[in-house]
Structure 1
Amino acid sequence: MSSRADDDSVEVLVIGPHRPDSGGGVNQYITEQCRHLPDRIRTRVYSVWVPPGTGLKRLVIALLTALKQMLLFPFRTPPDVVHVHSAQWNSFYQSAWYVLFAGLVWRRPVILHIHGSSFDEFLAVDSLPIQLLQSAVFRESDVVVALSDGWAEVLEGHVDPEKVIVLHNAVDASEYDPSFSVPPVRLSFVSNHIDRKGIKELAEALDRIAEETPIDVTIAGKGPLSHLAEDLADDRPGVEYVGYVSEERKREILEESSVYILPTYAEGVPIAILEAMAGGNAIVSTDVGGIPSVVDEDNGVLVEPGDADALTDAIRSLLADPERIQTMAEESRRRVVAAHSWETVTADLEALYDSLAPAPRDDADAPPGERSETRSTESHASK
């Protein structure tokens, strides 16, 4: 039974992989989402985080952890609105339980928030059981959130278009104090050191450029391919590898740099790029996912993923034109403040929750059998 009384408060149960001492864009989004919403939007977080890693032992631990979370979930008090953060493959399978239970058993409005970098590939999978599961989850979701217009178009091929809305990823731009000072031109890369983030192409491009001219680069983050950054820093003066960094140090790196590089293979709308824009950086990235919705020729350069030659040329072109970098950096900052600040996104979330939550009840003191507990079937979202 919903705990909403005769006031304008709304209780939202946020479900996703949340862990305070962990990284990841979704984890960070949930933290900031709860921090920035007004007090009348009362959030509770149900974490579905599972230990990362590979191998049979890790897989068994992850499965047991996820099963425990699912079994404990029905004993929670139903909220006014359920907000489920999800991605592709295992994340979606895990999320399916919570969407279906909240919709079919609790009869509560459900928001399914899609963050996956490869969700388009997941939707195109040729498997009838998976397709049926996708259809069931989308059917029980009152609203399906896309990160950009491009991702919305992808989803609308599989979801009722009236359910699909766009909510931008966001950062707290007020936490950044960009200098916009070029020259000198400082380059940065802050991300996981995995194939998908393009760390191989990054190392190759920077190695070529450093052979021709002095460069100033800070590489942060860690992962199975961190040896590429370590070797580059050992071989090339001006290249610094700092490993995993705190949020405070990450902001300092982005404020000090003037060009942020992320040659990724697949993304939604990466918070890392939004943070770099808030820090006052021109962006060098790839034409994938929702990145073109935030980066174009006015604030950066986009190349094809996996193309080290094009990445090298893009970086070279900016290094040769510091004035262009400054103009791009200023445009990046303007864009993120205008459309991707938490102030803007919080207002959109608040309006969405209000549209889905039941109106305050006049019969709050009535016997339980006479209270309004039915889930609204009215359409609450429009593109």
Structure 2
Amino acid sequence: MTSFPFEMPPGHSLVVAETTARPRVLFLGLRGIPHVQGGIEKHVEMLAKELAASGWEVEVIGRSRYLPKRASRSWNGIRIVALWAPRRMAFEAVVHTFIGVCLAAWRRPDILHIHAVGPALLVPLARLFGLKVVVTHHGYDYDRQKWGALARRALKLGEFLGMHLAHRRIAVSNDVAKTMTARYGAAVSFVPNGVALTRATADTSIVAEFGLTPKRYVLLAARLVPEKRQTDLIEAFAKCYAPGFQLVLAGGAEFETPYARRVRAMASDVPGVVLTGFQSGDRLADLFNHAALFVLPSSHEGMPIALLEAMAAGLPVLASDIVANRELGLPADDYFPLGDIDALATAMAHKLANPLSAEQVRAQVAQVEHAYSWSGVAQKTEDVYRDLLRSPRPQPREAPRGSA
């Protein structure tokens, strides 16, 4: 009981209010937020926003070249800190994460949440600093076509260290969660990506800006990287008999690569292909809302946020038949064999000729809203955090069954 060196006047009382510090989480392993291109960036942006609204003190460490030229700032109650990173694709993430872990050692958050297997290479350093670490596995990054043999080995090592040494582990895909559990004997929580519903508007300014007609274009929103396979979609569009329709590729490239140059060259050679560059916020939402069809031909996904966003916008969709896309459980005619240009062209023509009914649109939007809300994602993530904070030390588990 607290005592006071004075007496209260008769008839008066003193009420002492207890104050409890808000729990603090620091996110690391991404380019930054808000409105920065990338699936992990979108995931952290929405998750951080939900956590801040539910009472967490949230800090996001981003890379300075993707953020406004200010040392730090706040967005929706989230502290955003920009740190330097080298402009080299192979070293950007790991060097930035090293600096970020050192900053976290000084900041002392309750939770350090590292995203992706590349940044997870620094989990041992974070543990050495006495930090409580959560790692989210966003997909098998070492399968991306852009990486060479050495980078692939480093990413597999990051996966091993993250799954073996983090206090808690999360995967955005059920397949990844099960695979990690089998490979490393690790308990991995499945927490999917979410989707923010946007209401359709009559505004067609961005559609007009790019010379498009509402409901007369096919859309893909993705970075210009080989695994997104924009080239497959351009080839299929050229073969697809869909008079009056255009193909819109929304997305950019962080680094100038041979693949990005090839996409631009093919787009200039095929009539009706429009490159918008990276779009975000209301501009991207309007591109979704006025499209006739969304196509995701990728060879690699963790859990496809863009595909969920298209479904939430009520669009008919086509996706490659990779495991991550099939996890969404779409009807069979919403998938096509990966890399099969003729099958994709045929499926596109069929979808464009047979749009969804109003009832089908309502059912699809309701299903996405129920299964993939960001509030639900935040609640599941918060459960992982609180379980870790209640535990004084990592729970024992089996020795890892695999290695890098």
Structure 2 length as normaliser, TM-score? 0.72
Q: Summarize the Cα distance change of 1:259–1:178 in structure 2 as closer, same or farther, 3 Å threshold.
A: farther
Corresponding residue to 1:28 among 30, 39, 42: 42
Cα deviation, 1:223-253, whole Å, max 9, x if unaligned, reads 4123323332xx24xx544333232111001
Determine if the alignment matches structure 1 residue 209 to structure 2 residue 243: no
Q: Summarize the Cα distance change of 1:185–1:58 in structure 2 as closer, same or farther, 3 Å threshold.
A: closer
Please give the alpha-carbon distance, in whole angstroms, between the structure 2 residues aligned to 1:246 and 1:132: 33
Structure 2 contact 142–156 (Cα < 8 Å) conserved: no
Please give the alpha-carbon distance, in whole angstroms, between the structure 1 residues aligned to 2:153 and 2:20: 45
**What is the match of residue 10 of structure 1?**
23
Structure 2 contact 32–61 (Cα < 8 Å) conserved: no
Structure 1 contact 221–243 (Cα < 8 Å) conserved: yes
Cα deviation, 1:85-138, whole Å, max 9, x if unaligned, reads 014xxxx2x3321x22333431x432110113545789xx99999877654432
Structure 1 contact 218–242 (Cα < 8 Å) conserved: yes
Q: Summarize the Cα distance change of 1:63–1:353 in structure 2 as closer, same or farther, 3 Å threshold.
A: closer
Deviation at 1:321, TM superposition (A): 1.9
**What is the match of residue 70 of structure 2?**
none
Please give the alpha-carbon distance, in whole angstroms, between the structure 1 residues aligned to 2:134 and 2:317: 32
Amino acid at match of 1:42: E
Q: Secondary structure at the match of 1:44?
A: strand
Aligned length: 336
**What is the match of residue 133 of structure 2?**
110
**What is the match of residue 226 of structure 1?**
264
Equivalent runs, 1:169-180 vs 2, <5 Å:
169-173=193-197, 175-177=198-200
Structure 2 contact 105–126 (Cα < 8 Å) conserved: no
Corresponding residue to 1:166 among 180, 183, 190: 190
**What is the match of residue 333 of structure 1?**
365
**What is the match of residue 211 of structure 2?**
none
Amino acid at match of 1:143: R
Deviation at 1:208, TM superposition (A): 1.5
Does 16-25 or 128-137 show the bigger shift? 128-137
Structure 1 contact 112–143 (Cα < 8 Å) conserved: yes
Q: Secondary structure at the match of 1:245?
A: coil
Identity of aligned residues (%): 21
Deviation at 1:42, TM superposition (A): 1.3
**What is the match of residue 80 of structure 1?**
110
Q: Summarize the Cα distance change of 1:203–1:142 in structure 2 as closer, same or farther, 3 Å threshold.
A: same
Q: Secondary structure at the match of 1:322?
A: coil
Please give the alpha-carbon distance, in whole angstroms, between the structure 1 residues aligned to 2:234 and 2:157: 42
Q: Summarize the Cα distance change of 1:208–1:50 in structure 2 as closer, same or farther, 3 Å threshold.
A: same
Determine if the alignment matches structure 1 residue 302 to structure 2 residue 335: yes
Please give the alpha-carbon distance, in whole angstroms, between the structure 2 residues aligned to 1:158 and 1:277: 33
Please give the alpha-carbon distance, in whole angstroms, between the structure 1 residues aligned to 2:49 and 2:215: 36
Q: Summarize the Cα distance change of 1:218–1:153 in structure 2 as closer, same or farther, 3 Å threshold.
A: same
**What is the match of residue 218 of structure 2?**
187
Bigger radius of gyration: 2
Please give the alpha-carbon distance, in whole angstroms, between the structure 2 residues aligned to 1:60 and 1:346: 31
Q: Secondary structure at the match of 2:269?
A: helix
**What is the match of residue 347 of structure 1?**
379
Structure 1 contact 192–221 (Cα < 8 Å) conserved: yes
Q: Secondary structure at the match of 1:319?
A: helix
Corresponding residue to 2:350 among 312, 317, 337: 317
Deviation at 1:16, TM superposition (A): 1.8
Q: Secondary structure at the match of 1:188?
A: strand
Amino acid at match of 1:322: P
**What is the match of residue 294 of structure 2?**
260
Deviation at 1:307, TM superposition (A): 1.1
Please give the alpha-carbon distance, in whole angstroms, between the structure 2 residues aligned to 1:64 and 1:112: 14
Please give the alpha-carbon distance, in whole angstroms, between the structure 1 residues aligned to 2:158 and 2:279: 39
Corresponding residue to 1:200 among 217, 231, 237: 231
Structure 1 contact 277–283 (Cα < 8 Å) conserved: yes
Determine if the alignment matches structure 1 residue 47 to structure 2 residue 62: yes
Please give the alpha-carbon distance, in whole angstroms, between the structure 2 residues aligned to 1:328 and 1:198: 28
Q: Secondary structure at the match of 1:158?
A: helix
Amino acid at match of 1:45: V
Q: Secondary structure at the match of 1:76?
A: helix
**What is the match of residue 283 of structure 1?**
317
Deviation at 1:32, TM superposition (A): 1.6
Cα deviation, 1:162-211, whole Å, max 9, x if unaligned, reads x21110101221x33389xxx9564212222332112111111111124x
Please give the alpha-carbon distance, in whole angstroms, between the structure 1 residues aligned to 2:93 and 2:301: 26
Structure 2 contact 120–158 (Cα < 8 Å) conserved: no
Please give the alpha-carbon distance, in whole angstroms, between the structure 2 residues aligned to 1:111 and 1:304: 35
**What is the match of residue 142 of structure 1?**
167
Cα deviation, 1:13-64, whole Å, max 9, x if unaligned, reads 211213246311111221221111134211122336788xxxx983698489
Deviation at 1:353, TM superposition (A): 1.7
RMSD after superposition: 3.6
Structure 1 length as normaliser, TM-score? 0.75
Q: Secondary structure at the match of 1:58?
A: coil
Q: Which has the higher contact order (CA 8 A, sep 6+)?
A: 1
Q: Secondary structure at the match of 2:109?
A: coil
Deviation at 1:296, TM superposition (A): 1.4
